[in-house]
Amino acid sequence: MSDFQAPDTSSLERVAYLCGYPIAHSRSPSLHHSIYSSYGKDWAQLLFETKDLEGFIKYLKKDPKCMGSGVTMPFKVAVIPYLDELTEEGKVIGAINTIFFKTAPDGSRIYCGTNTDCIGIRDAFINNVSGSPYQGKPGLVVGGGGTCRAAIYALQKFMGCSPIYIVNRDAEEVEAVLKECRAQGVADDLIHVSSTAQAEKLQPPGAVVSAVPDFPPRTENEKTARAILSSFLNRGDRGALLEMCYHPSPETEISALANQAGWQVIGGIEAMIGQGFAQAVLWTGIEINDQLKNSAREAVGGSQKPPQ
């Protein structure tokens, strides 16, 4: 039996959803409202909080107003079998955060999956870091989930970082990431860093993406992962760290650690903004100009403009 109650869309011309659980804290609908209202459109993104992915997909396919959907935890991997095709980003990353539609020759919908998280991560650095000081330097990802995969893709494909270090409390999660990346042929420059001794022998990174919840390390594995990160942050030239965790507060233990070490810290809201802009373009085809970018950032508390 479905656990959800469908949102009221009677006042809307077109609608997108955000499917996941729990998602009440999400700022994504506010971002999309800012975008569409700038064009005077009765369009919106609405939260669709549910644990019933199959039920949501059935609802989505019956909704004539629907122009697409965001997908968040815990469904970023589970949604893949329900889709007709994946973009390159979706295939390589192996996690989907966006459903968009194409039209088949017979007029029916083709349900497509992609990952705009990687675009959000890329744009968070581009919009907040002068130049490209991380290009040609190692990148570092803290974590082992779907966001970790998107971060690896962004660092490799868009930002020119190599090699990519992975630091995580759970070695099995890292091995799962490495296995998937090997299957896609993108694992040659990935290095699982599992000790401070290993970290101290490696060139420090120029860009770091932290993709773990904010919590104090308690277990030995958690303490080791935090010590490895600290080792990297306190050696070599200081770069930029993107802290993906911004709820309930953007002030996390890892952002504090980076600030203390002299790194530039970028809030995760910036990545959310970038991925949301990419979603809006896929769903509607509208142009996201600089004026719209700045007003949308203001609506959700991001930066006003890129550095000069």
Peptide bond preceding 248 in cis form (omega within 30 of 0) = yes
Domain spans in the chain, listed from the N-terminal domain onward: 14-115+271-300, 119-267
C-alpha separations of 268 from 79, 90, 128, 231, 301 in Å: 24, 21, 12, 22, 11
Asked whether residue 53 carries a pLDDT value surpassing 50, the answer given is: yes
Res 293: pLDDT: 84
- pLDDT confidence bin for 161, thresholds 50/70/90: very high
Are both 14-115+271-300 and 119-267 of the same fold? yes
Instruction: Extract the tokens encoding 255.
Output: 């952002």
More confident residue, 225 or 294: 225
- pLDDT tens per residue, range 251-265: 899 999 999 999 999
**Whether residue 306 has pLDDT greater than 50:** no
**pLDDT for the residue numbered 303:** 61
Among 5-9, 175-179, 190-194, 210-214, the range with the most confident prediction by mean pLDDT is: 190-194
Residue 266 corresponds to which tokens in the numbers above? 């970028």
Q: What CATH class does 119-267 carry?
A: alpha beta
pLDDT at residue 106 above 90?
Answer: yes
Q: Which numeric CATH code is attached to 14-115+271-300?
A: 3.40.50.10860
Region 57-63: mean pLDDT is 94
